[in-house]
């Protein structure tokens, strides 16, 4: 399983794969003081001149990644290019019951009931994060449009009212079938933290998950796997 360099809660090493991950063109400066806050402050980092998204990616976000953002919440979206066929990537993303197939921070997952909209999973989180468990509900699973949405409804962590949407889109990369993966989220900003700090924390986790998804998918593609891992 690929690993990502994140250390919690006293320090968070930023993960920026500028060659393959695109985020919103926010400019922000983080203060590393006051490490007692709910989310550890990020080390000083100024994000500038991040590669702009393409018009098609912006259209995907406009069409599928709509969040109702309240005053006490933050939201963002990230894009990952993966050199593997879309059906292969989607077969990993859609497995609500097996997020550990590519998410490096998940050690165990148990689903209550059948795999359908409204199903709930209990996720155990590996050590190294300021969390131990997460309870998550499946909000949307569209195999035709390749849309996957989850909402956190409980657990031992600081991500309150967290919802995420993942969409998977076909793309040609270096003349071969590839995939665009877009993940967006909305979450409450905890007392004592700013919107920038909260977004930075969540974006770092998503970047790590997307990098791991790319590593797993591209390794399978190199081994000759071009079809879904499991039948849909």
Tens digits of residue pLDDT in 108-153: 999 987 889 999 999 999 876 777 899 999 999 999 999 999 999 9
Ranges of the chain with pLDDT below 70:
1-53, 128, 226-227, 229-232
∠ CA 127-92-74, rounded to 5°: 60
Q: What is the pLDDT at residue 128?
A: 64
Model confidence, pTM: 0.79
Residue 174 structure tokens? 């270096």
Whole-angstrom distance, CA of residue 226 vs CA of residue 184 = 26
Q: Which CATH architecture has domain 21-96+159-222?
A: 2-Layer Sandwich (3.30)
CB 102, CB 213: distance < 8 Å: yes
Please tell me the predicted confidence (pLDDT) of residue 232.
56
Q: From CA 186, how far away is CA 205, in angstroms rounded? A: 14
Pair 168, 179: CB distance under 8 Å: yes
Burial track 23-55 (b if 16+ CB lie within 10 A, e otherwise): bbeeeeebeeeeeebebbbbeeeebeeeeebee
| The pLDDT value given to residue 33 | 35
**pLDDT value for 169:** 97
Query: Strands of 106-112's sheet, edge to edge?
Result: 21-23, 73-82, 176-188, 163-173, 147-156, 133-142, 120-125, 106-112
- Minimal CA–CA distance to 89: which of 97, 111, 65, 80? 80
Polymer length in residues for the chain: 232
Q: What is the domain partition of the chain in residue ranges?
A: 21-96+159-222
C-alpha–C-alpha distance, residues 58 and 230, integer Å = 30
Cα distance between residue 142 and residue 121, in whole Å: 18
pLDDT at residue 3, rounded to an integer: 52
Structure tokens at 217: 């998918």
């Amino acid at each position: 399983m690929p690993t990502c360099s994140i250390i919690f809660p006293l320090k968070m090493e930023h993960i920026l794969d500028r060659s393959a991950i695109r985020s919103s063109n926010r400019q922000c400066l983080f203060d590393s003081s006051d490490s007692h806050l709910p989310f550890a402050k990020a080390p000083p980092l100024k994000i500038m001149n991040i590669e702009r998204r393409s018009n098609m990616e912006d259209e995907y976000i406009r069409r599928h990644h709509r969040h109702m953002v309240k005053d006490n919440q933050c939201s963002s979206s990230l894009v990952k290019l993966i050199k593997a066929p879309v059906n292969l990537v989607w077969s990993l993303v859609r497995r609500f019951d097996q997020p550990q197939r590519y998410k490096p921070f998940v050690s165990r997952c148990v689903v209550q009931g059948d795999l359908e909209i409204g199903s709930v999973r209990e996720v155990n989180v590996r050590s190294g994060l300021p969390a131990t468990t997460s309870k998550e509900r499946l909000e949307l699973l569209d195999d035709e449009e390749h849309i996957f949405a989850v909402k956190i409804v409980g657990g031992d962590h600081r991500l309150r009212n967290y919802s995420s949407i993942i969409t998977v889109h076909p793309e040609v990369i270096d003349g071969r079938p590839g995939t665009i993966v877009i993940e967006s989220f909305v979450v409450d900003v905890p007392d004592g933290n700013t919107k920038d700090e909260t977004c930075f924390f969540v974006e770092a986790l998503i970047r790590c998950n997307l990098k791991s998804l790319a590593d797993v998918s591209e390794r399978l593609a190199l081994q000759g796997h071009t079809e879904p891992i499991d039948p849909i």
